[in-house]
């Protein structure tokens, strides 16, 4: 991914569904993965709101490599690796629960849409390079 997005010239579209099959999305500009760090320059649009850290390089964290800015281990709390800052917000790599009872902070989370404990039915991250579009 870094080879196609390393000039911060990609867009990121996060598409998600909840458990009543409502579909929503968040669209970002200036997306890149630099080494293993995430960079996103701007939230462009989308009914799901903004759940990513903007304009900062964020190192990737896993449960055994805590690189987040929190005193906690965000990857452990959220059930999977991600570019965490202070936990909360987004966790696309959490556990997949077969239904939602709104009690799973370690599920698939996009906080600015359904909150910090609602594990979503689906989430896709779509990346495209916009330099030559």
Binding site for Ca ion (CB under 5 A): 66, 68, 70
Three-state SS annotation for the chain: CHHHHCCCCEEEEEEEECCCCCEEEEEEEEEEEECCEEECCEEEECCCCCCCCCCCCECCEECCECCCCCCCCHHHHHCCCECCCCCCCEECCCCCCCCCCCCCCCCCEEHHHHCCCCCCCEEEEEEEECCCC
Residue 70 or 93: the one with the smaller Cβ distance to Ca ion is: 70
**Tokens 């000039």 -> residue:** 7
Smallest gap from Cβ 128 to Ca ion, in A, equals: 32
Phi, psi at residue 112, to the nearest 5°? -75, -5
Min dist CB 87 to Ca ion, Å, is: 8
- 5 vs 74, beta carbon nearer Ca ion: 74
Nearer to Ca ion, 5 or 87 (CB): 87
Shortest Cβ distance from residue 68 to Ca ion (Å)?
4
70 or 129, CB closer to Ca ion? 70
Whole-number minimum distance, CB 52 to Ca ion, in Å?
A: 18
């Amino acid at each position: 991914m870094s080879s196609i997005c390393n000039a911060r010239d990609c867009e990121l579209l996060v598409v998600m569904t909840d458990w009543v099959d409502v579909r929503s999305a968040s669209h970002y500009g200036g997306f890149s993965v630099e080494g293993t760090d995430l960079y996103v320059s701007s939230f462009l649009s989308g009914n799901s709101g903004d759940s990513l850290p903007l304009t900062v390089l964020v190192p990737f964290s896993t449960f055994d490599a805590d690189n987040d800015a929190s005193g906690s281990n965000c990857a452990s709390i959220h059930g999977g690796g991600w570019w965490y800052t202070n936990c909360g917000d987004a966790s696309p790599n959490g556990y997949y629960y077969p239904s939602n009872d709104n009690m799973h902070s370690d599920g698939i989370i996009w906080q600015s849409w359904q909150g910090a404990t609602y594990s979503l039915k689906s989430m896709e991250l779509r990346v495209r390079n916009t330099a030559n579009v």
